[in-house]
Amino acid sequence: MTALRMLAEPTRLRLLWLLRDGEHDVGSLAAAVGAARPAVSQHLGKLLLAGLVSVRRDGRRALYRARGGHVRRLVAEALYAADHQVTGAPEHD
pTM as predicted: 0.86
- Predicted confidence at residue 79, as pLDDT, reads 85
- Predicted confidence at residue 28, as pLDDT, reads 97
| Confidence class for position 78, pLDDT limits 50, 70, 90 | confident
CA 59-63-68 angle, 5° bins = 140
| Confidence class for position 44, pLDDT limits 50, 70, 90 | very high
- Predicted confidence at residue 17, as pLDDT, reads 93
Asked whether the predicted pLDDT for residue 93 surpasses 80, the reply is: no
Taking each helix axis from N to C end, the angle separating 10-19 and 68-87, rounded to the nearest 10 degrees, works out to: 120
Asked if residue 33 lies in contact with residue 15, where contact means CB atoms within 8 angstroms, the answer is yes
- Predicted confidence at residue 7, as pLDDT, reads 85
* Closest to 56 measured CA to CA, from 67, 69, 46: 67
Q: What average pLDDT does this structure show over 17-26?
A: 95
